[in-house]
Structure 1
Amino acid sequence: MSYSNMSEIIRALKNNMASQVAWLKSCQILSPGSSADGAIGRYPDQGWVMPYFANFAAMALLEDVNAHLLVERYLNWYLANLEDDGTIKDYHYDENLNAKKASPDSEDAYAGSYLSLVAAYHERTRKTNWVRKNLPALKKVANCIVNLTDRDGLTFALAKYRVKYLMDNCEVYRGLADFAGLLDYLGDQEASVFNARAKAVATGIEKSLWDARRTCYYPSKTSWWLRPGVNLKKFYPDATCQLFPALYGLIEPGSERAANLYELFNSNHPEWLTIKPPDYPWAILGYCASLHGDYKRAYEKLRYVREEYIATKSGNWFCAEAAFFVLTCARLLQRSGEWLFAGS
C-alpha cells in the first residue's frame, strides 16, 4: 500500500481495528448468572482463560465505547475469582461452564496489568462508583504485589518461583503507579503508600537490572545478587525486554537511553517485522515502535500481521496479540498527523 494514499491507509486502519475489536468480543464468555460471565478466553468458543492475556484484551476493548460494559463484566469476573491472597489462577471452562483452575504463569504481572486496566477503565468511563464499591478487592490485588516484593524493591514472578523479571517488574511499576493515581483521584489516603511502592520498583530496576557498562538491562535477577548475563542475540527475553522500560513509562520513549535501546533491539533483530507462523507474531513490538515515533515500522508490522496471521487464521493469533494489534491501530490513528502528513 502506498504511503501517499493517506485516506486509504486511515480507512484500512479503522476497518482492521474494528474487525479485531469484534474478534476480541467473540472471545468473551457472556453467560449472566454463571461464574464464568465476563471471562475473556484466549480464543473464541474456547474456555481457556489466562487473566494476564485477558487484561490486555480488555484494555483494547476500551477503544470501543460500545464495549465498555463488556470490560466491566470482565473486571467483575476477575475480582470474583480472586484467591484469598489477591492472586488469580488461570481457568478452563468446559462446554457446561464448569471450571478447573491451573497455576498462573506469574502473579506479579497479572496483578500489575489488571490494576492498569482498572485505571484505564475509570479514565474512559469515570465510573467512580464502581471503583469505590470494589476498592477493598482492588487493594487486595495491589497488596498481593506488595507481598511478592523483595528487599531490593523488585517482585518475584510467583511466591513459589522466586525470579525477578524485568518485564514483570515494568508491568508492576505501571500498575502500582496507575493505581496510586486512581486512589489520589478518589482522595484515598493510601495513594501515597502505593505510589511509594511504585517508586521502589523503579529504583530496584535501575539499581539491580540496569547494566551501565553494557548500557542495557539484565532480563532477570534470580537471587539477592545473581543476574544472568545478557545475550542480545537471544530474542526472548534478553532482547525484547529492553523495550519494556519505555513501554511502561519507566523511561521516556524519546529519551537517549530509550532510543539507544530501541536501536539496539532493531540492529540485533531486524526480522521482528516479518516473524512468521508458527511463531507468535509479537504484535506488541508494533506498538513499541509507535511509541518511539517509528510509525513506518509500526504500520508495516500491522500490515504483515494482517496478511500472515489474521487472514490465514493462524493458531498463534490469540487475544493478547489481537489486543496489541488494536492498540497499535488506535495509536497510529491518533498520531496520524505526525506520520502520514510527514510522509514517514
Structure 2
Amino acid sequence: MRIVNNILVFGVLMICSCQKTNTPAKVNTTTPPVQKSIYDEVIDDQVNFILAAQLPDGPIMDTSVPGSRISPYFADISARALLKKPSATNIAAVKKWMEWYMKHLNGATNPVTGGAEVPGSIYDYAGAAETTNGTYDSVDSYAATFLALAMDLVVTSPADKGWLAGYTTQLNAVAGALERCLDNSNNTIPVTFGADDNDGLSIDSYVHGAKYLMDNAEVNEGLRSMVYLESNVLNGDAAHYQTLLAANSAGIESQLWRTTMYNWFANGSTGATISKWSTFYADAVGQLFPGMLGVIDPQSTRADDLYNTFNSNYPAWSAGTVYSGQFPFAVVSYAAAVFKDKTRVDAYINHILSYNRAGTQKPYWYNAEAAFVIMAASKIKSQ
C-alpha cells in the first residue's frame, strides 16, 4: 500500500511539475527586411524613374510627363544606366529602345525641310505621338552614345550578341553618321567655328559645325566601341575604326589641350586658352569628360589635377548646389565615381535620396540625370 501511495504521490508531483505557470515568450521567426545600401536604393529609385518614361513601343522620354521630348542622346545614356542593373526586364527595355532607334534612322533627305541629311543620324521626337520637327542637337554624340550602348549590351548580356548582329546594317549606318562628322580628307566640313584642317576631330553636325570637347570625348568612346563591335559582333574592319580613333585622340590632344586645361571647343587657334574655370558649362564641366570617358587615364596626373581644380571652383556640387542654369548636372557625380572620390559620390547620392525618400525627385530632373546617378552608384559600390 505504501508503494502504491508513493507511486500516486510521485505521479501527482510529476503532473504538477509539467503545468505551465508562465507562458514563454513567442519566438520571432519573421525574417527582418534586408537593409539596402544607399547605392542599391538610389539605383532602384532611378531605374524606376527611367522605366516610367519609356513608351510601349520603346522610346524613352526625358520624363514620364505626357508630351515629353524623346532625345536619343539622353535615352542612350539612360539605357546604358539600365544595364547597370541587368535584370531581364531592364535588358528587354534596352533592346526595345535600341530597336526603336534603329527603326528611326534618317536617310539622305530631311523629310520635314526637304534638305540634305546625314544618313544614319536621328532626330529628336516628342510624346506618345512621336512627332518630330526634323531637328537634333547633334549628329556625332547621338551616334557615339548609341554605339557605346551597343557595346555595353554585348558585354553585359553576351547572349544578345546574335540579336545585335542581326542589326549589322543599322549599326554600320550609325557608325557611318559618326564618321561623316569627322574632320578628315574624306569630309568637307563647315568652317563657321573652326578650320577644315583634317585634325580628326568631330563636328557636332553640318547644321552647326562646331568641334566641341565634350562631343569629341563621347566620339572617342564611340569609336572605341566600334572597334570592339567590329571585332566581336560585326566581323568587320576594326582596323579602320582604330585609325579613326587614333586620329581623334591626337586631335583632342593637339587641338583642344592647352597646357593646364582643355578648350571647350576648337576655334582654330594655336596655343590660346579660351576655357575659363569661372564658367561652369561648358568650360569647367567639360574638363571632366576626357578622364571620365577614357580619352586619358582617369588616374593620370592630368585628370587628377583637372578634377581637383574643378572641385576647388565648385566645392558644393556634392551637396546639391546647382551652379549653372536650373539642371543638376548629375554627370559630375559619375565623373567623381570614375575618379574614385567615394566621399563626394556618397554625399551626392544621399542628397538625391533625400528627395527620393520623400517620394519626389530633385527639381528639373530628367532621364539622363537619373542615369548618371545610377552609373555613379554602380561604379563606386564596386570600389
Q: Where does residue 380 of structure 2 map in the other structure?
A: 332
Structure 2 residue 99 is matched with structure 1 residue 76: yes
Between structures 1 and 2, the one with greater helix share: 1
Moved beyond 4 Å, runs of 4+:
223-228, 308-312
Alignment coverage as a number of residue pairs = 318
The separation in 2 between residues aligned to 1:128 and 1:224, in whole angstroms, is 44
Specify which of 37, 40, 44 is matched with residue 18 of structure 1: 44
SS in 2 for 1:195: helix
| Structure 1 unmatched ranges of 5 or more | 1-6, 31-36, 336-344
Q: Where does residue 156 of structure 2 map in the other structure?
A: 124
Q: Is the 8 A contact 1:162 1:222 kept in 2?
A: no
| Structure 2 unmatched ranges of 5 or more | 1-33, 108-118, 184-197
Structure 2 residue 66 is matched with structure 1 residue 46: yes
The separation in 1 between residues aligned to 2:332 and 2:273, in whole angstroms, is 24
Structure 2 residue 326 is matched with structure 1 residue 257: no
Higher alpha-carbon deviation: 269-278 or 115-124:
269-278
| Cα deviation code 1:87-114 (max 9, x no counterpart) | 10000134xx252334111110111011
Specify which of 116, 120, 143 is matched with residue 86 of structure 1: 120
Specify which of 279, 295, 302 is matched with residue 326 of structure 2: 279
Q: Is the 8 A contact 1:286 1:299 kept in 2?
A: no
CA apart distance, 1:295? 0.5
Matches within 5 A, 1:1-344: 11-30=37-56, 37-47=57-67, 48-64=69-85, 65-66=87-88, 67-84=90-107, 85-94=119-128, 97-126=129-158, 127-150=160-183, 151-186=198-233, 188-212=235-259, 215-223=260-268, 229-276=274-321, 279-307=326-354, 311=358, 312-335=360-383
Q: Where does residue 342 of structure 1 map in the other structure?
A: none
CA apart distance, 1:225? 6.3
Change (3 A) 1:98 1:320: closer
TM-score (norm: length of structure 1): 0.87
TM-score (norm: length of structure 2): 0.78
Aligned residue type for 2:72: P
Q: Is the 8 A contact 1:233 1:269 kept in 2?
A: no
Change (3 A) 1:98 1:54: closer
User: What is the percentage of aligned positions where both structures have the same residue?
Assistant: 30
SS in 2 for 1:270: coil
Q: Is the 8 A contact 1:281 1:309 kept in 2?
A: no
The separation in 2 between residues aligned to 1:112 and 1:42, in whole angstroms, is 19
Aligned residue type for 1:140: A
CA apart distance, 1:46? 2.7
The separation in 2 between residues aligned to 1:107 and 1:162, in whole angstroms, is 10
